[in-house]
Structure 1
């Protein structure tokens, strides 16, 4: 049976070239990168630092600003917790449509350390109210503040107006953290142009291995950060433990390949998204798209999210899977079968609409073709019948 994998926002297939680099590292890199007394350790160290340099080069950062982690969730946790414990943050400003690795961590920190938290207002398209953001920042000027807003939403694809967000952070002397997990590796980003204080990445979102990512921490801040995991000198003493050398090598290669053909990939994804929107409108004339996912310029081209008109059929996704189509209802980190995600609940004010529909997130990747969308459309038509 032909299958269509359309859940790339959850995880992408690993590239063959990345797999080869990782297998070679497994086979031939025997040493511990901290064992620099012998050639095996120095060779592993060389792979580690060359990967760090390569990654930094792609995103226009300094190698010393890259801290390897087990993935995006750990990277977000590292940044949020270190901000409280090491930078003296007393106030966090975020939104209700962030990834749970931000929202749950912020909630935990607010209770544990008595940190005040505010949420920026959002409209029914998931767009942030920057006037409200400025009001909150102005009101809390006496507190050391961290703003945490994702660059591209992982469920509805909305792009943050990054220039406005950074401008307000600078104006009110707030630190700025952005969950860039759907951006880095998929769309060019230059840290020397944007005044991020912190950003995060995960290799399996850009055709690399699972279980490896990194935190970008601006170097003037990095020296203030104390160990997040204690017990060694690895990762500048911030994250102790033997580094995942084969994962890091795979991450580096995946990022390099992404940047080699990024403009072609973006063009392909936009074409796939436009085609999918057109075909969906043919079978569901009054279709409701969530957020700005339908907008080719205000959302990332890899994500399309819509409400499918079917009365609470929690088996919808399984039906589609049996018909060869893999999609999701939202973030894989919030995959409760019966519960609509916090993102969709936050932007859908019409509760009747939520009861009569099911959200579907279609996320495209570079290995998808129009035939995959045709398979999705055919499956949805059969389910409607």
Structure 2
């Protein structure tokens, strides 16, 4: 196949760093390279930059700057929220959902090996948690309820506030992985009822290796990284000043016009969904048809295998995914799709297209023009179709 154009539709995996973000970061690699923990002027410049970024991140999510702690990314923030709560909690039970990112699932499984109990809430066919199931799962020993704001694979947005209210009614703190939500729709920790919230800069135009955990004042969370007294004694390690500066600038830009940005992406998303479902038979939409991220298109094709789809699309210049970038090398079907009820063979035939700031209507046209041929070619040689 001839490569005709280059189309990036994997913004849920990572985003390009915005030029304004790179510009803001650049001085802190060179002339403003001081360690924020030192006392001289060069160090104070770095410290001031970190605190300015903290203020920007806090403002973007409706928090106080003293409640924002910088991490090396969303995975560390989720681990801190879960394991840190376990360190300080007075029980041994955690409630989460069956479709969380592995940054939540794997810490929970690690705690299970240490004797903790974890309830994995089921989801419906659209990937939504029923708040009533959370209510039923909470016990006297429950120390945390953790449900993601929006799913990274299928785009489904969860009824976070309802679940948080139930947790609080039982005196249990609520954590949400908001990595996919920041910059996609307005996020306010009070409106969501979040006591702990994780975010990651590279999902909204910032650099990789920079994230943050929001910890509501008064929430009991143990120290996760031991060492120095950075981050007010809560998270040791010399601050990644350029990354933190980049996070602060990126979250400003990502939240400046969320409604306009979301409308533009949703229009392209809906065109992609309609075109794929209309032109390619034996195809289903994954995730909620309405309560979903504005940039997420997740579909499952019968009789084909997702990795083959990606290879052929790559040859045509299209970058896409079958699901989470963190598990793209796994031969197992997506735990998200199987939790939604898809049989293994259909879950293996999934495709995720996620849109972002650089995508155009021409990109959508191109994908819709080549994808039917890609699926048709794979189905022609598929042994699965012969068995149907």
**Under TM normalisation by the shorter chain, which class is it?**
over 0.9
Extract unaligned runs of 5+ from structure 1. none
Match of 2:53 in 1: 51
Match of 1:28 in 2: 31
Deviations 1:155-213 (A, max 9, x none): 01111112211121122221101010001233211123332110000000001100100
Extract unaligned runs of 5+ from structure 2. 378-388
Q: SS state of the match for residue 255, structure 2?
A: helix
Q: Point out the more displaced range, 372-381 or 252-261.
A: 372-381
Q: 1:237 pairs with 228, 233, 239, which one? A: 233
For 1:107-256, what aligned pairs fall within 5 Å after superposition?
107-112=109-114, 114-137=115-138, 140=139, 142-221=140-219, 224-256=220-252
Residues 248 and 315 (structure 1 numbering): CA distance in 2 closer, same or farther, change over 3 Å?
Answer: same
Q: 1:341 pairs with 314, 334, 349, which one? A: 334
Number of corresponding residues: 373
TM-score (norm: length of structure 2): 0.92
Residues 351 and 250 (structure 1 numbering): CA distance in 2 closer, same or farther, change over 3 Å?
Answer: closer
Q: Point out the more displaced range, 261-270 or 2-11.
A: 261-270
Q: 1:304 pairs with 297, 310, 314, which one? A: 297
Deviation at 1:32, TM superposition (A): 0.7
Match of 1:78 in 2: 80
CA RMSD of aligned residues (A): 1.6
TM-score (norm: length of structure 1): 0.93
Contact 2:156/2:287 (CA < 8 Å) preserved in 1?
Answer: yes
Q: SS state of the match for residue 146, structure 1?
A: strand
Deviations 1:49-80 (A, max 9, x none): 11111211121101111110010001000111
State how far apart, in whole Å, the 2-side matches of 1:73 and 1:30 are.
26
State how far apart, in whole Å, the 2-side matches of 1:329 and 1:351 are.
14
Residues 374 and 264 (structure 1 numbering): CA distance in 2 closer, same or farther, change over 3 Å?
Answer: same
Q: SS state of the match for residue 160, structure 1?
A: coil
Deviation at 1:352, TM superposition (A): 5.6
Q: Point out the more displaced range, 142-151 or 196-205.
A: 142-151
Deviation at 1:33, TM superposition (A): 0.4
State how far apart, in whole Å, the 2-side matches of 1:301 and 1:17 are.
24
Q: Point out the more displaced range, 7-16 or 256-265.
A: 256-265
State how far apart, in whole Å, the 2-side matches of 1:266 and 1:58 are.
16
Q: SS state of the match for residue 93, structure 1?
A: strand
Q: SS state of the match for residue 95, structure 2?
A: strand
